[in-house]
Structure 1
């Protein structure tokens, strides 16, 4: 199922989308500077994960997961995504995880075959008169973090991967459309309904303290990953994947 676009991007973003692969100067990059970019393989990219060597990106129109060479963007493998409304993608050191908004479930997948190994219910706390949608997904070394898009009650839930129980949660700045974690910090990317560039917020993992923020290259960030030195973000409107200098 394709996410609805609430607004179209500007001409500059469309021009960037025409560039298949770009490597920019990496001499003393500033935080948020684009280091590399290439096109996403599908028409509606969402979710991003780094498995230690390769990137994975999902697509909620093709309902596929794509394994990519991070140097070139070349597709190395394709798997079926479980569910019909993919929203998040994570790697736990051994397997992939997806979040599906239609079923409200998190699924653990064998990354070589795409076989579903386990499913847990994505915890969504009841809120009166407030629609909720699953957002991004990431792994902190022990637990999953699942984004919940719910207006001013938007948050990141720390989730037990065995039971789906919420261990704790942090309220977020903006909607947690995409999440990433390196074991020390959490990041969430949010759109601004197309009114301006998206934002990436950085928080301390231990207590949720806000640390800093960066603009995203596009208006509609839909996936986020960290590879140890850089941040990766995918934009669903420009359909570009960017590697950004981290702090």
Structure 2
């Protein structure tokens, strides 16, 4: 790895107002490609390890609480992930759908992205430039 504190890439927390930052050591997560926070835990999709990790920042370290394989991992790694607080949403490798996962990693649904954009109640889902984005909007 290339971390200054941990064996792998360090996690860096930046204060957007002051610009101050703190590095957290990481020994396990290799190639992060999507980061989400549900209000309690961070969740990260690891492109190389084909896993999603659940973690917190504690005592200057990344503390991992759980991990599980991504859906259809035999197709390879994917990029882009978000959460609505209850579920995780991970973009498929080809960008045609989002996997809806519960927090134990169980696949509970799929959202198909026709032309890489989809409206689902008050949320707009988009797969643009290999990124998965969502936002609340007025419809």
TM-score normalised over the length of structure 2: 0.70
Which of 71, 90, 95 is the aligned partner of 2:41? Answer: 95
The change in CA–CA distance for 1:171 and 1:85 in structure 2 (over 3 A counts) is same
Give per-residue Cα distances to partners, 1:14-56, cap 9 Å, x unaligned. Answer: xxxxxxxxxxxxxxxxxxxxxxxxxxxxxxxxxxxxxxxxxxx
- The aligned residue for residue 139 of structure 1 is 83
Is 1:149 the counterpart of 2:93? The answer is: yes
Give per-residue Cα distances to partners, 1:193-241, cap 9 Å, x unaligned. Answer: xxxxxxxxxxxxxxxxxxxxxxxxxxxx758586x8xxxxxxxxxxxxx
Which of 108, 112, 130 is the aligned partner of 2:54? Answer: 108
Larger Rg: 1
- Kindly report which structure 2 residues correspond to 1:113-124, keeping only aligned pairs within 5 A, or say none: 113-124=61-72
- The aligned residue for residue 5 of structure 2 is none
The structure 1 segments of at least 4 consecutive aligned residues displaced by more than 4 Å after TM superposition are 221-226
Asked whether the 8 Å contact 2:13–2:22 carries over to 1, the reply is yes
- How many Å separate the matches in 1 of 2:48 and 2:72? 13
Aligned residue for 1:111, secondary structure, equals: strand
- How many Å separate the matches in 2 of 1:223 and 1:77? 27
Q: Which runs of 5+ in 1 are unaligned?
A: 2-61, 176-182, 192-220, 229-245
Q: Which runs of 5+ in 2 are unaligned?
A: 2-7
Aligned residue for 1:115, secondary structure, equals: strand
How far has the Cα of 1:135 moved from its partner? 1.6
- The aligned residue for residue 77 of structure 1 is 22
Asked whether the 8 Å contact 1:189–1:224 carries over to 2, the reply is yes
What is the RMSD computed on CA atoms of the aligned residues? 3.3
Q: Which structure ranks higher in relative contact order (CA pairs < 8 Å, sequence separation ≥ 6)? A: 1
- The aligned residue for residue 190 of structure 1 is 128
The change in CA–CA distance for 1:65 and 1:121 in structure 2 (over 3 A counts) is same
Aligned pairs, number: 125
- How many Å separate the matches in 1 of 2:132 and 2:100? 18
How far has the Cα of 1:123 moved from its partner? 1.3
How far has the Cα of 1:168 moved from its partner? 0.6
